[in-house]
Amino acid sequence: MAEREAKIEGVAEVSAMPRLNSLLANGDGKIHVSLSFAVDEQRLRTVSGSASGTVTQTCQRCLEPVPVDVEAEVNLAVALNEEQAKNLPRYYDPLIVEAEDIELLSLIEDELILSLPLVAYHEDCEIQTSFGDADEAARTQETKPNPFSVLAQLKEKADKS
């Protein structure tokens, strides 16, 4: 594909990316992927491009779904093994190709996960503004598991056994 300078345009379903999907409120959403294959001046086979889309996370203020934009940029060079990967110019990330098994979607998924906000919320979340200090409420919101309740459960199990 690199020799032919192929280009790929496509749409990936969020539900096809299980690790990304597990961080979202639901599996709705599509990621538009645009990739170009090429051979660079050092004869390295490269894959570059971007992926972007809108996914759904849970607003940490009102706990309703909130759309979140995600974006990934990739600039990869093909390596046949770890050793080759180490020797690639630094401006490339290695795409290690073993046999026919290319984990391109998985790499893009990683980048998309990194682009997720640490905390998602509606920009002007109605519920929260009536409480005043939004950040305070976000920090103390009740959906986070309480570490002490986990300890209590463990203790309960220990007592039973």
We find the least distance from the C-beta atom of residue 130 to Zn ion, in angstroms, to be 12
We find the least distance from the C-beta atom of residue 122 to Zn ion, in angstroms, to be 4
Measured from the CB atom, is 35 or 59 closer to Zn ion?
59
Measured from the CB atom, is 74 or 120 closer to Zn ion?
120
Question: 145 Cβ partners below 8 Å, 6+ apart?
Answer: none
**What does the alpha-carbon distance between residue 10 and residue 101 come to, in Å, rounded to a whole number?**
19
Nearest-CB residue for Zn ion: 59
**Contact predicate 143/64, CB 8 Å:** no
The 10 Å Cβ neighbour count of residue 58 is 17
We find the least distance from the C-beta atom of residue 64 to Zn ion, in angstroms, to be 5
Binding footprint of Zn ion on the chain (CB under 5 A): 59, 61-62, 122, 125
